[in-house]
Amino acid sequence: MVSYLATILIIMVIYILLAFSLDLQYGFTGLINFGLVGFFGVGAYTSALVTMNLGLPAWLSFPAAMLVAGLLSWPLGRIALRLRDDYLAIVTLGFSEIIRLVIVKEDWLTHGVQGISGIPRLWPNWSSSASELFLLCALITAAALTTLVMRRITQSPYGRTIQAIRDDEVAVIALGKDPSIFKTQVLVIGGAIAGLAGAFYAHYITYIVPDQFVPITTFYIWMAIIMGGVARLLGSISGAVLLVFLLEGTRFLRGYIPGVTDAGMASFQLGVIGVLLILFMRWRPQGLFGKRSAT
Amino acid sequence: MTFADFLNLALNGLVEGLLIALPALAVTLVHGLARFPNAATGDVVAAGGFGGYFTFNVTGSLLLAGLGGALVGALVSLAAYYLAFKAIMRRSVITLLLTSIGVGFFIRSVLGMSFGHELKMFSLPLTRAINFHGVLINPTDVQLAGVIVAVLAAVFVMLYVAPVGRMMRALADDPDLGRVSGIRKERVMVVMWSVTGAVCGIAGTVLGMRTTLAPEMGWTMLLPAFAAAVIGGLGNPVGAVAGAILLGVVQELSTPYVGFVYKIALGYVVMLLVLLVRPQGLFNRPQGVR
């Protein structure tokens, strides 16, 4: 039971980190990123490979994961910043698929579709449950620090500028600021946060394959920030918590309905997410705690 | 690689491109009138595929299967318009886009729960490819390509000859001007959603006959369709078809050099390169941001 709770909490906090990343990009800056999972995956793979191939202690691989995922956001920014919303969505989605296909193909480094197994836990000498709890504590600390950083970013003059870019880009240009610099920075910071989440995920799950990094995860995170409310840190947190309850709840439901297969339940879960997404966008686009007026 | 190999790959790419052309055309038509990239397009393709499969199993006729697929696609597409999209038509792109993702999830979920996740196949007789001096031509492929070309021709006749097509293009060009000229937008919308749905349904049936059917097939089809529509320029029907064929041929011809995995990635890379050089797509004129 403790182990189950720890698992739920770890997944929840990883989702919170991912929701922060997306909220900084979409909620605060208005950048539509449909490729979030790509940076999550790059973080996971970087951290796993740095730990296993270079033999560095696990905790040293976290900054590496943030760095690589952040740097990879930069070329995306160069291409994407000239595009309208609809193009941006398609380009970022394609970008995350390119990342996944590179991971599949470059098997000399990533072991391709077989994935990487036996990624060391954060504290390999401890028993697995103690190590799990340690990882949870580290994860919560990281999330708390990220929350502070996010608060600093969004409540500073910098944060007002990126929100101004979201609301009226032309006005920001008229004030003599260059939105493309801010947008690129936001993409890089968001990418780094997603990379951090990926590093925790890799060291928790200890086994990663490319199939864990398919676009559905991106849309789960979109679902989370839409439910919780965009452009509010509380919204990201509550949205991620709700998302985990939703995903776990439908899994629990399975115990009460006889004769349902795993695949059938996964389909049902997908349908629930789909209908909720439609209903939220129609009736409450600002989410449960959002303050931004419906657009 | 001999010239015959080259031709084989190019012909195969042409067929693959034609298969993508139908959903790409649907994406671009929806974008022209409703102004958002419809992420449920692929799942309407899948729904149509299952509709065609069901009709085929009941009637045993390939022609009726195509019609059944078209009908199911059109109905699903219209239902999505009335139940999900209509009420939010005037909201932002991202609202519509996320709604379309929700619609796609829902369609996939219903397909998964009703038909299961095993791959389904049309039980068609196997055909032997005809060999012209090393160039292999599969009669089934020729027939399916013929069906696709016929459907494309019908849509373009509707767009450029029939009055409703002229109204569609007028609304896509300038919605306000279209409305003051007395075009009933609602009617045109209904025609557009039914036509794009039917096109997707036929695409699903054809795809099912050529390969296999699965509830997830729509999602794998969506990104190539998006890429083709973006390469041609969103909202440009000729561009979408040309983009799809270009993608199909380039991907197949590159396979001997880059392998099967990077063949898929190449499609997105071509899309990124086109956007870097011509952000409006290959076939669109530059335009201001709306």
The domain limits of chain B are 3-118+130-277
Neighbouring C-alpha atoms within 13 Å toward the C-beta of A291: 5
Residues of B in contact with A26 (CB under 8 A): 94
Could you report the per-residue pLDDT of A55-92, keeping only the tens digit for each? 888 888 999 999 999 999 998 888 777 788 888 899 99
B16: nearest Cα among B214, B228, B159, B197: B228
Tell me the pLDDT band of A263, cut-offs 50, 70 and 90. Answer: confident
Residues A17, A196: Cα–Cα separation, whole Å:
8
Residues B42, B228: Cα–Cα separation, whole Å:
13
C-beta atoms of A226 and B98 within 8 A: yes
Model confidence, pTM: 0.93
C-beta atoms of A267 and B215 within 8 A: yes
Q: What is the pLDDT of residue B130?
A: 85
CB atoms < 10 A from the CB of B170, how many?
16
C-beta atoms of B262 and A82 within 8 A: no
B221: nearest Cα among B264, B178, B257: B264
Q: Look up residue A5 and give its two tokens.
A: 């709770």
Neighbouring C-alpha atoms within 13 Å toward the C-beta of A92: 29
Residue A65 near residue A196 (C-beta atoms within 8 A): yes
Q: Look up residue B45 and give its two tokens.
A: 């393709």
The domain limits of chain A are 2-214
- What region, left, alpha or beta, does residue A12 occupy, with left being phi > 0 and alpha being psi -120 to 50 degrees? alpha
CB atoms < 10 A from the CB of A115, how many?
18
Tell me the pLDDT band of A130, cut-offs 50, 70 and 90. Answer: confident
Interface size between A and B, measured as CB pairs under 8 A: 139
Q: Which of A103, A220, A277, A280 to mutate to test the interface with B (most CBs of B within 10 A)?
A: A277
Helical ranges in B35-138 per DSSP H: 41-59, 62-80, 93-115
Nearest C-alpha in B relative to A84: B289
Q: Is the pLDDT assigned to residue A129 strictly greater than 90?
A: no
Q: Which of B27, B90, B105, B284 to mutate to test the interface with A (most CBs of A within 10 A)?
A: B105
Tell me the pLDDT band of A97, cut-offs 50, 70 and 90. Answer: very high
CATH architecture of B3-118+130-277: Orthogonal Bundle (1.10)
Residues B255, B168: Cα–Cα separation, whole Å:
39
Q: Which of A203-207, A263-267, B87-91, B202-206 has the lowest mean pLDDT?
A: A263-267
C-beta atoms of A87 and B116 within 8 A: no
Q: Is the pLDDT assigned to residue A292 strictly greater than 70?
A: no
C-beta atoms of B108 and A294 within 8 A: no
C-beta atoms of B112 and A264 within 8 A: yes
Q: What is the pLDDT of residue A291?
A: 65
The answer to whether residue A130 neighbours chain B at the CB level (below 8 Å) is no
The per-residue pLDDT string of chain B (290 residues; one tens digit each, 9 = 90 and over) reads 788 888 999 999 999 999 999 999 999 999 999 999 999 999 999 999 999 999 999 998 889 999 999 999 999 999 999 999 999 998 999 999 999 999 999 999 999 999 888 888 888 877 888 888 888 888 888 999 999 999 999 999 999 999 999 999 999 888 889 889 889 989 999 999 999 999 999 999 999 999 899 998 988 899 999 999 999 988 899 999 999 999 999 999 998 999 888 988 999 999 988 888 887 778 876 654 43
Q: What is the pLDDT of residue A128?
A: 77
In angstroms, the separation between the Cα of residue A210 and the nearest Cα of chain B is 13
The answer to whether residue A56 neighbours chain B at the CB level (below 8 Å) is no
Q: Look up residue B241 and give its two tokens.
A: 């078809």
C-beta atoms of A104 and B261 within 8 A: yes
Residues of B in contact with A266 (CB under 8 A): 112
Q: φ, ψ for residue B137 (rounded to 5)?
A: -125, 120
ipTM: 0.92
Could you report the per-residue pLDDT of A217-250, keeping only the tens digit for each? 999 999 999 999 988 899 999 999 999 999 888 7
β-strand partners of B132: B135
